[in-house]
């Protein structure tokens, strides 16, 4: 298994730098089920932020990308269930993806409720504003 950084995924998806995009595509195409690419939670969160803020992707586009990454057999996504759950909520709501990943991790761990000072995040079910 090899690890993939956010910038590799961005180049692969966005293709805004052709040389780097071609290199990223070659790497992604070299992945197999026996030698998959690993995407950690932090990379998933950063990917959403970059696609949203730097490239103006819609919530639906980003959620679809995340869902496609999770089902790609040549990729291993850390906490894939959290990513899918957060992507679904992200697509339909206004909460930030990072807040949704934090909530998904808390729920998976049985740590309820999630306390926060973040007013926007506190609107989510299972989150309590301090």
pLDDT by 10s per residue, the chain, length 130: 999 999 999 999 999 999 999 999 999 999 999 999 999 999 999 999 999 999 999 999 999 999 999 999 999 999 999 999 999 999 998 899 999 999 999 999 999 999 999 999 999 999 999 9
Task: State the virtual CA torsion across 65, 54, 122, 59 in degrees, nearest 10.
Answer: -30
Which CATH number is 33's domain given? 3.40.50
- Which residue range is the domain that position 24 belongs to? 2-129
Q: How far apart are CA 9 and CA 92, in angstroms?
A: 24
Is the torsion defined by CA of 10, 16, 19, 25 positive or negative? positive
CA distance linking residue 17 with residue 70, whole number of Å: 25
Split into its structural domains, the chain has a count of: 1
Q: Is the pTM of this model over 0.85?
A: yes
């Amino acid at each position: 298994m090899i690890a993939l950084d956010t910038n590799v995924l961005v180049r692969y998806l966005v293709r805004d730098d052709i040389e780097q995009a071609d290199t990223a595509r070659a790497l992604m195409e070299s992945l197999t089920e026996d030698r998959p690419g690993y995407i950690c939670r932090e990379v998933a969160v950063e990917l959403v932020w970059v696609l949203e803020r730097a490239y103006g992707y819609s919530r639906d586009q980003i959620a679809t990308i995340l869902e496609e990454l999770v089902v790609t057999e040549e990729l291993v996504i850390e906490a894939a269930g959290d990513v899918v759950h957060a992507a679904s909520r992200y697509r339909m709501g206004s909460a930030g993806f990072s807040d949704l990943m934090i909530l998904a991790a808390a729920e998976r761990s049985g740590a309820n409720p999630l306390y926060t000072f973040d007013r926007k995040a506190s609107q989510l079910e299972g989150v309590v504003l301090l």
